[in-house]
Amino acid sequence: EENQRAASAAAAAASRTTVDTKLAEARSLESQISAKAAQIEALETRIADSEGRNEKEKDSRVHADLKAVERLEAEMDLLATKIETLRVEADEEFARGLAEREDEWGAWE
């Protein structure tokens, strides 16, 4: 019985570590999204500021900036999907850990 408790405690610790790792990774990805949003804002400001330039220079610069905005938005969408996946996986792992503990507590009654 003591070995079973030790194994159970180790499994619970591993489960907590997995949950914490997934949530930390999600927070890191959220930071990346924030950084990309700031980049988009800077590009949009630069696009707006380019109104006074000659047309040829403005067109090539604005086109490049618009492409960069599209790329950053696509990257943000991918990151958001990864964040959602990580959170679901963390929730599932947490639920598994709770179910295992409930099984153990039921055995103690």
Is the pLDDT at 45 greater than 90, yes or no?
yes
3-state helix, strand, coil in the chain (%, to 5): 95, 0, 5
Q: What is the pTM of this model?
A: 0.79
More confident residue, 39 or 61: 39
Q: Which residues touch 51 (CB under 8 Å, ≥6 apart)? A: 58
Is the pLDDT at 63 greater than 80, yes or no?
yes
> How many whole angstroms separate alpha carbon 102 and alpha carbon 108?
10
Check residue 54 and report its DSSP letter. -
What does the mean pLDDT of the chain come to?
89
Taking residues 20-28, report their average pLDDT.
97
CA 20 to chain centre: 13
- Domains held by the chain: number: 1
Band the pLDDT of 106: cuts 50, 70, 90: low
CB distance 63 to 44 below 8 Å:
no
More confident residue, 48 or 67: 67
Is the pLDDT at 56 greater than 80, yes or no?
no
Domain extent for 89: 2-108
